[in-house]
Structure 1
Amino acid sequence: MKHPLGVILAGGRATRMGGGDKGLLPLGNKPILTHVIERFEPQVAALALNANGDPARFSSFGLPVLPDSIVDFPGPLAGVLAGLDWAAEQGADCIVTAASDTPFFPCDLVPRLLLSAEGQDHPLVLAATPRGLEKTKSMSRSGLIRHPTFGLWPTALRDDLRAALQDGISKVVIWTEKHGGREALFPTEAGDPFFNVNTPEDLIRAEELLA
């Protein structure tokens, strides 16, 4: 398998933050998105940003901006599809996705996902943490909490994903389970590695964690 490409998912509408782009909010002395890029870039062969609307607002980051090809914000899978189409044009076998509002995700995200994918015909793995940290997130049958915006996705299944989205499927785990998706377990002894900024209170907490 070739080294994966990275795609930062920034297609959400940030309603709990009053709209706008959560990744552009300041954290410390730089935008949240910069923290995400600095963690992600060393782990992948190239990096792009999935976002809708005017791409010029991200011009200072120097990344390709990939809009959803499926309209009406059908969820993170639309961003995954945009990333897979971009990666296929680059000749890549797979992508890894990360969310633009999660500034402290693991620095070993990609190697852990790749390790969990060993033996799969089509590498398809979601990041997961032990039960008990965030019961609102997607829980698997094994009792793990899945983090659907952090995953390893194969370009070979992009047309299948496109058809699923056009059929109205928007829930990530419905599609991944159909294709034998796995989970990569990440430790939580130091806290939730996939803590994300959803509310103003979360941003205050992120400042505390950064300090």
Structure 2
Amino acid sequence: MLEVRGLNSAYGQVTVLHGVSLTAQSGEIHCVMGRNGAGKTTLLKTIMGIVPALSGDVLLDGQSLNTLPVHEIPKLGIGYIPQGRRLFPELTVGENIEIGLMTRKVSPDTRNWILDLFPPLENRLGQQAGTLSGGEQQMLATARALALRPKVLLLDEPTEGLQPSMIEQIRQVVIKMRDQGFAIILVEQQVDAVVSIADKVTIIENGKSVETISGEALKTSPEKIRKYLGV
């Protein structure tokens, strides 16, 4: 289980997160929603140690991550798929996956497990990552994170800029990960994509976690969507 307790973080002198709290249980999709600039991406970066926490705590199975070097956090089992994918474009698909496999000791069948999840990648292992389509790049970014065999998966806007068929493929992989026991924190702007798969939803407004509700409750509360998201 991943726990975020009263998390505060800043860029320089500008505080962005103000006491954000949430939990992600194994076998659960916990979506984070809010308007642009609300602090959603900063939350994920602070969990990963990329943005230092000013106060509060991030715990994985009870272990605090706050004082760990950034490169140690993935080794504990947190996979991060940043907005914009951040692949190594000059390396091949296979090499990008190998970088993920090198990060943490995983079972020998992990590579085959990943390629079973994303069959199109198997035919492109020798292709440079930068030449893939947007949807294929998102697949590869997700595959690289899954190469850790993580306990927790953080996804930042995974469907951004993708065509509907590719959005559905990514959605199905997220559901499959949940069903296999992963704890998933999903930052997503597409309301329809969220309400169809979310177990819980935390709304962030002006850097504060203002409400956490079930995905089912969000479906039946369009007034909350209008209030917090302006949709």
Structure with bigger strand share is 2
Larger radius of gyration: 2
Larger relative contact order (CA 8 Å, sep ≥ 6): 2
Instruction: Tell whether the structures are fold-level matches, with TM greater than 0.5.
Output: no
Taking structure 2 as the reference length, the TM-score comes to 0.28
Taking structure 1 as the reference length, the TM-score comes to 0.29
